[in-house]
Structure 1
C-alpha cells in the first residue's frame, strides 16, 4: 500500500524498539536533569505514548514532568494516573465500553458494559460538576459524533484548571478512518489546532501535545481560563502548520 501525505503506521517491531529508546531517554532525563531530581514518577511507553504513575508534590511538578517528557522526539502523547499531593486523581473515560484506559478510571457510556460506571449519552452533556475531574479520556469517541464540539466544551467545564483532555481518533488518511461506517467525522492534527482556538467561542485550550503516527491523531489539551494567555507561535510550531 502507498501512503499519501504522511508516514505509514509504525510496525510492531519498530514501535517496540522506539518504546525502548524513549524509556532509556526518560531514565536519562530523570537521572541527570536537576529540575527532576527527587521526582517520584514512574514512566513506561506503549506505542509512543508515555504513561506516568507515582506520587508528585503538586500540579506544577506534574506539568514540568509532562512538558519535559513531551519534548522528546517520538512521543505521541503523555498520559498519566499520578497521585498529586497524596490524592488519587479523578479521571473520566468517555465511551469506555468494556475497556478503560486505566482500570480505576470512571467509565462513561450510554450502554451497559463491564467498564461502564456511569451511564450517560455523551450528546446530552456530562453528568459531572464543574471542575471535578483531573483528566478526561476521549479515545475513539469524537469520530462517532456528528457534532462533537458541545462534548469538547463540556470537558472544558468539567476539568480542573490543571486538568487534561486526552483525545485519540483515527487519522483521516488511514484506512480505518473510513472503513468503520459508524465514523461520521474525520480528524487531522490540524483539527486539534482548530479545537484549541475556535472563532467565536470563548473556550480555549492549550495544546500540551499533538501528534500523528500515520494511523491515529493524538491531542493532550489543557483548558485555558478566560484571561489566561494562550500558546505562543514557537510552541504551536512544534505541532501545527
Structure 2
C-alpha cells in the first residue's frame, strides 16, 4: 500500500505555526514602510490569515494580501476589510449556521441561524452582477456535481478585484470520502485547472493556493476577458 504524500499537521504544531506567523507579521509591519499607517489586523488560525480593519484604497488591501501571503505556512488569506470607509459586501455560500464572519450575508438551501436568504447553489445566484467584494465557499464545492457552474456564478457577481475563497476536503484525506454527500474530489491541481480554462470561459487569477493534508485552500480573483494569462512563474508557485 502506497502512503499518501501529505499528512495533516497536529493541532499543537498548527498553533505553533500561527504564533510564528503572528510574530513575523508584527515584525514586518514594524519595519516595512509600506505598512506604516495601514490599520489592518491580521489573525492566524491554523494557517489561514484573517484580515480585518480598514485601508485607504484597494491598492493597500492588495499589498497587505500580497505580503501576508508570502509567509511560508500561510494557506489562505481571508479578509473582511473596509476600503475607503466602505463596508465590503461579503457573501457566505452554503454557510448553514457557521458564517466565517458574523456580518456576512449567508445564503443556503435550508433555513438555519445565520442564513439570511435561501438559494439553490446549483443554479443562478440571486445576486446582481459586479456587486460583491468577497465570496466564501467553505466545504461547498465537493457537494456539487457541476461546481464549475457555481464558480462561474461567483465570477459574474464579484466586482473587479473581488476575491473568491475556496476550502474543500483534499481528495487524499479520509474526510473527502467519509461524508456520503460529497460527490466530487478536489486537489490543489483542481484550482490550476479552474485558472487554466480556455478563452471564452470565465477566467481566474490565483492569489493563493495550498493544502494542509486535510483540506485544500484557494483565493482567486476574476480576470477580465482581455487580461493576460497568469505568468508561468506565478502558477509554478502553487501548482505542479
Q: TM-score range by the shorter chain?
A: over 0.9
Distance 2:229 2:18 in 1: 31
Residues 1:60 and 1:18: Cα distance change in structure 2 (over 3 Å): same
Distance 1:239 1:70 in 2: 12
1:195 is matched with 194
Distance 1:26 1:89 in 2: 23
1:108 is matched with 107
1:209 is matched with 208
2:55 is matched with 56
Deviation at 1:7, TM superposition (A): 2.3
- What secondary structure is seen at the aligned counterpart in 2 of 1:81? strand
Segments of structure 2 that go 5 or more residues without pairing to the other structure are none
Segments of structure 1 that go 5 or more residues without pairing to the other structure are none
- Could you tell me whether the CA contact under 8 Å between 1:197 and 1:203 is conserved in 2? no
Q: 4+ residue runs of structure 1 moved beyond 4 angstroms? A: none
- Could you tell me whether the CA contact under 8 Å between 1:93 and 1:137 is conserved in 2? yes
What's the CA shift string for 1:15-39, capped at 9, x where partnerless?
Answer: 0000000000111111111221221
Distance 1:155 1:99 in 2: 20
Matches within 5 A, 1:156-175: 156-175=155-174
Residues 1:127 and 1:214: Cα distance change in structure 2 (over 3 Å): same
TM-score of the superposed pair, with normalisation by structure 2:
0.97
What's the CA shift string for 1:77-135, capped at 9, x where partnerless?
Answer: 00011000001110000001111000000000010000100101011111000011000
Deviation at 1:200, TM superposition (A): 5.3
Deviation at 1:202, TM superposition (A): 2.5
- What secondary structure is seen at the aligned counterpart in 2 of 1:42? strand
- What secondary structure is seen at the aligned counterpart in 2 of 1:50? strand
Distance 1:6 1:155 in 2: 32
Q: Tell me which moved more, 229-238 or 133-142.
A: 229-238
Distance 1:100 1:215 in 2: 20
- What secondary structure is seen at the aligned counterpart in 2 of 1:238? helix
TM-score of the superposed pair, with normalisation by structure 1:
0.97
Distance 1:3 1:63 in 2: 41
- What secondary structure is seen at the aligned counterpart in 2 of 1:207? strand
Matched pairs, number = 240
1:149 is matched with 148
1:69 is matched with 68
1:184 is matched with 183
- What secondary structure is seen at the aligned counterpart in 2 of 1:82? strand
- Could you tell me whether the CA contact under 8 Å between 1:76 and 1:218 is conserved in 2? yes
Distance 2:79 2:2 in 1: 32
- What secondary structure is seen at the aligned counterpart in 2 of 1:174? coil
Residues 1:181 and 1:231: Cα distance change in structure 2 (over 3 Å): same
Deviation at 1:201, TM superposition (A): 4.2
- What secondary structure is seen at the aligned counterpart in 1 of 2:125? coil
Task: Indicate the RMSD between aligned Cα atoms, in angstroms.
Answer: 1.2
Deviation at 1:230, TM superposition (A): 2.7
